[in-house]
Structure 1
């Protein structure tokens, strides 16, 4: 599997885990407050990933990977903003929206996260956009509009607005996380969980909530570890290799997994509008998958740290004793080079067009 195909698979796997978490979250609502569910999800994510990080550090004999992958001081504001937007505001809004919105509808509305992510990437961070990618986003938006519309209703339901607002928060989170995506993805996801979990739990308790029984706590934390923790690790890796807008687009398939699981949990016949929306959203994702971006481009001098192999973009010497192990992590410098090959706006291709 080539690097681009591997990156796409990583994004899709992240989407599958996150999409499955949505209907599972709805099964917990009712007996547990929305903020409590969000808090337990993120706490399970943070604690689970922390355990994996500790085990990984104990297993490694070379300390270079851990020392060279520390988050730099200048990157902390980006990470802090991502945690507040995506780890506190986003989950709370989602849980509030889920409490009044059907599971299948909620799952498909989450496609809007990819749209908002791309818009911010294009408008604010100047990531390149192709016509095909733009058309894909248009069809996803159209699907969201169809899904939210209810005949005879005076407007879009409040629950749908809350879920859409959660998508905006996660879109901000995605774009800010891209700024720190060269760092250890597991550390980034772990920090988000360890901060967002207690904050959401504190809000739940202040609003009069209470902890559920041990079985529900364990179920929520386990769901959070997979749907929010492992999923976020894979998402950050995809951000590093695909860019923000493209990763958001592939992540838009998450609702399809959520829909499939919600129909298993709550068997029902979906409406015609549901299938129209699903078709439009599937078409949008397909347009993104078909994109091919290739042109002559120049890499400017760049020095950074991330996990890498010695591919065409990493032809450098080492100032330390290297045993030939790959991939590995260390600070390295990219010399200027001009060439042509298919690429995405990853951490090595953020050039102007």
Structure 2
């Protein structure tokens, strides 16, 4: 799966995940939440691995460099094992409204970790766009006046910790996003699915009927599997913070589908959230980050076309088709052009946080 625009990949991931939410909510009415999570993840893992076996005509190595495996294993443990377990534990102590509200922390924590720990650059436009998108998500999740249910502090702590695990997962996955996205998403789906199913069975959950089980796994393949593949492709081209911001529009997409497809009423809060999220996405879409920068020597393997960053010779027979993937080496290059913190632009900036004035003269657009 190759999508040229990482922004479309990020919005596509949000669309599929957001669309799966109303259907998952419908299934959850008669299925244990932990068991349902296991089926959704397992459906994504089995489906993606089946696609990969068909695509590669059998089992093929992941192609992931040895140095990337610790990052990938960390992502699996934090996002596929600890995150779901902590979230389910939190749900048992917190109200649904509180849990939904706290889930917006994932986008915020993803951005904070990206900026502070992993040194990903973000200018004022990106930060402000993130603020608008998160405010829209908070409006959507805020309890209605008639909702008097309240959760305990313990439940909120577990949900917030789950969000931290998923935020760490997003940033660690960015580290390995050059590798096969289907392998990454499929393996994470299998691990998370098996973990949640084991937990559900240990808690005494009864499996649903086969038709409902297959429906849940099919929804999981689209909303958790293909969505995660698109998310990884977006990480490859946008970095963690920007991808997380686009993906955090998923609650609005889910709410819009509920309004249009399930005849739920669209309140004033819904439309206010739509305006805020739309403004946030517009700020990100109109970002222009450009400055003089230097590429250090780098060797890796990922799908690419022969653009200005990939002017290399081949030591094998090549039919000229693009994009294609093979191990290749980048030499030192200094130039200036608009860019995101993608695979080839993960450099440090002399003045982090000041858009357009990094490692060179100010060339930022309006």
When normalised by structure 1's length, the TM-score is 0.87
Which is helix-richer, 1 or 2?
Answer: 1
For structure 1, which segment, 291-300 or 74-83, has the greater mean C-alpha deviation from structure 2 after superposition?
A: 74-83
Whole-angstrom distance in 1 between the partners of 2:221 and 2:138:
31
Q: Give the corresponding residue for 2:23.
A: 24
CA contact (8 A) 1:49 1:229 kept: yes
Deviations 1:156-190 (A, max 9, x none): 75688776554433221110101111100000011
Q: Which residue of 1 aligns with 2:277?
A: 281
What is the correspondence of 1:1-353 to structure 2 with a 5 Å cutoff?
6-58=5-57, 70-92=63-85, 97=91, 101=96, 106=100, 111-146=104-139, 147-148=141-142, 157=151, 165-264=161-260, 266-353=262-349
Aligned residues: 342
Separation in 2, partners of 1:281, 1:167? 20
Of 184-193 and 25-34, more deviation after overlay is shown by 25-34
Where structure 2 has 5 or more consecutive residues not aligned to the other structure, the ranges are: 350-366
- TM-superposed CA distance for 1:244, in Å, is 1.1
Q: CA RMSD in A?
A: 2.9
CA contact (8 A) 2:129 2:280 kept: yes
Structure 1 spans left out of the alignment, 5+ residues = none
Q: Deviations over 1:15-74 (max 9, x none)?
A: 100111112111111321111111101111111111111111129xxx9xx55x512332
- Per-residue CA distance 1:178-222 (angstroms, 9 max, x = gap): 111110000001111111111110000001111100011101000
Cα distance in 2 for residues equivalent to 1:261 and 1:161: 30
Does the 8 Å contact 2:258/2:264 carry over to 1? Answer: no
Q: 2: distance between equivalents of 1:152 and 1:231?
A: 34
Deviation per CA, 1:88-127: give whole Å up to 9, x if none: 343456667599537xx94x87554332211110011000
Q: TM-score, normalised by structure 2?
A: 0.84
Distance, in Å, in 1 between the alignment partners of 2:166 and 2:26 is 22
Equivalent residue of 2:344, what SS?
coil
Q: Distance in 2 between matches of 1:47 and 1:322?
A: 33
For 1:12, what is the secondary structure of its paired residue?
A: helix
Secondary structure, aligned partner of 1:346: coil
